[in-house]
A and B are shown apart, each in its own frame.
Chain A
Amino acid sequence: MSAFFDMGGYAAFVWPAYGVTFAVVVLNIVWARQSLGRARQDARRRLDARAEAP
């Protein structure tokens, strides 16, 4: 098991590379959902504003 994490001496390069890619994937999922949520909220606010002031 520790041989796996050692990556034949390349651990200092292999794991950060996987870490950065993982972070970019996760951030993309979070950002995409956030941007849709924000757009939905804005749309709802616009509709409410128009309903109040016809």
Chain B
Amino acid sequence: MTWTWFHRLGSPPYVYALAARLTPWFAWPAALLILGGLWGGLVLAPPDYQQGEGVRILYVHAPSAWMSLMVYTTMAIAGAVGLIWRIKVAHAVAASCAPIGASFTVAALVTGALWGKPMWGTYWEWDPRLTSELILLFLYLGYMGLRTGIEDTQRADRASAVLAVVGLVNVPIIHYSVTWWNSLHQAPSVMRLAKPSMAPSMLIPLLMMLLGFTLLFGALLLVRLRGEILSRERAASWIREVVGA
């Protein structure tokens, strides 16, 4: 087994070119899956027997919440890889994740509030799931604030990576909060070890949205990663070619 592929992934010009080439392979399937999922979720799926048409918020809330956790986990792992092996590209991946994750955490909180009002009678409650998700938003904002506050990129990379790794403890807390504590929030119906407890007519559009959002994250990350790599490479001659200067 050779490790050349791993070393190549540490090479900024290689990753820059690869990211550019891969972006449409994420973006187009993402667009198709999201459009299909929207049609399935808004039109084809039946209303819930308890929540009526209000249940359709599920098809935007669950993917946003999934993004908030998945992007954070990616950010923390990339930060850890950057810390351990001192790979610049890994730090660039981590830095690219933060604004994406933060914005989808806002979407998860707002769509959750809009679901909570008709179902629980309140937009907000200091409930374990809601509170831990709000802490996730603060972790993202803290991460971004820390990065802007430190001028030197290498020091910003290391400090923010430590914050991301420490904050990773919040991710399982969010996921298991509904099982560990008495929460207003319902228990997971897709992300669980047993079979999903949902009719296929609801499950399929939801899975399409989850996969579509995940691929969208891939496309967004690849575009942002190229920008991060460019801004980190000061003197490299390959930059002249890609920016056409």
Contact = CB atoms under 8 A, between A and B. Distances in A.
B64 A39 contact: no
A18 to B, nearest CB: 6
A16 B118 CA distance: 13
Nearest to A20: B110
Interface in A14-47: 14, 16-18, 20-21, 24-25, 27-29, 31-33, 35-40, 42-44, 46-47
Interface residues of B, number: 42
Interface residues of A, number: 32
Contacts of B216: 25, 28
Contacts, number: 105
Contact of A8 (B43, B54, B57): B54
A43 B244 CA distance: 10
B142 interface: no
B220 A17 contact: no
Contacts of B47: 8
B243 to A, nearest CB: 5
Given A13-B115, A17-B60, A40 B100 contact: no
A16 B114 contact: yes
Interface in B104-147: 104, 106-107, 110-111, 114-115, 117-118
B223 interface: yes
Contact of A24 (B104, B230, B240, B244): B104
A9 interface: yes
20 contacts: A7-B53, A8-B54, A10-B54, A13-B54, A14-B53, A17-B115, A18-B42, A21-B60, A24-B103, A25-B34, A28-B100, A29-B220, A32-B100, A36-B227, A39-B231, A40-B230, A42-B230, A42-B231, A43-B239, A47-B239
Interface of B: 34, 42-43, 47, 52-54, 56-57, 60-61, 63-64, 99-100, 103-104, 106-107, 110-111, 114-115, 117-118, 216, 220, 223-224, 226-228, 230-231, 233-234, 239-240, 242-245
Interface of A: 4, 7-10, 13-14, 16-18, 20-21, 24-25, 27-29, 31-33, 35-40, 42-44, 46-48
Chain A to chain B: the 8 pairs with minimum beta-carbon distance, closest first: A8-B53, A39-B227, A21-B60, A10-B54, A36-B227, A39-B230, A7-B53, A47-B245
